[in-house]
């Protein structure tokens, strides 16, 4: 069962609609009890880093998520800010992240040579998957996704970079550490590329 975490951030229904069209069982979790039967988790998110962490804490679902992801090793996919909160910290806020993928979230404006870049980075962009990136199966020749962000995930260890994109510099737009996956772009807005990625996650 694909279970989408609803802590008040992100277009939950868009993911539900994709999986229903694919005839893949899907549910929505608003509390810890709703996680029963989950075999894969999706952690969406929009907005600011600290606000996302605060909302996740306020939902009461975080301890159960930690148990499922860290101990039971259930696959989880963080999306947009849901990916960023997988990190240890962020330039955008002061609260610690989940720490499931070692690294920090950095502002494009914090890079001196990028200080004049228009932000947010918005629109379609090419994505280059790593050689063994199961999320991107079938996209080896062409991979384009929709972005809307001003921060990027700076992985502490290069082996956790699952894909890169380019906006003034090459940046990690997808991460993976064991059973934890994250993508900066919006698969729910990326047409057949996004549908294919969400299907690949379901089939891991």
For residue 50 the two structure tokens come to 């600290």
Residue 147 structure tokens: 């972005």
Q: Which tokens in the block code for residue 87?
A: 């990190």
The DSSP letter of residue 59 is H
Residue 4's beta-bridge partner residues?
A: 28, 42
Which residues have a catalytic role annotated?
80, 186, 188
Token representation of residue 177: 């550490």
Do you know the residue count of the chain?
A: 204
Task: Determine the distance from the C-alpha atom of residue 19 to the mean position of all C-alpha atoms in its chain, rounded to a whole number.
Answer: 17
Cis peptide before 71, with omega less than 30 degrees from 0? no
């Amino acid at each position: 069962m694909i279970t989408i975490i609803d802590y008040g951030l992100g277009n939950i229904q868009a993911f539900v609609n994709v999986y229903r069209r694919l005839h893949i069982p899907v549910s929505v979790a608003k509390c810890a009890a709703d996680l029963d039967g989950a075999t894969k988790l999706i952690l969406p998110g929009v907005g600011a880093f600290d606000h996302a962490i605060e909302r996740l804490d306020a939902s009461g679902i975080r301890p159960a998520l930690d148990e499922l992801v860290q101990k039971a090793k259930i696959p989880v996919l963080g999306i947009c800010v849901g990916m960023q909160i997988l990190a240890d910290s962020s330039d955008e806020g002061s609260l610690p992240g989940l720490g499931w993928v070692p690294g920090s979230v950095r502002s494009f404006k914090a890079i001196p040579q990028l200080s004049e870049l228009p932000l947010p980075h918005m629109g379609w962009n090419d994505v280059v998957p790593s050689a063994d990136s199961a999320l991107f199966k079938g996209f080896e020749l062409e991979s384009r996704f929709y972005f809307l962000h001003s921060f990027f995930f700076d992985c502490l260890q290069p082996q956790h970079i699952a894909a890169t994109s380019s906006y003034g510099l090459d940046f990690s737009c997808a991460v993976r550490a064991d059973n934890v996956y994250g993508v900066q772009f919006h698969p729910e807005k990326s047409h057949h590329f996004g549908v294919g990625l969400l299907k690949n996650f379901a089939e891991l």
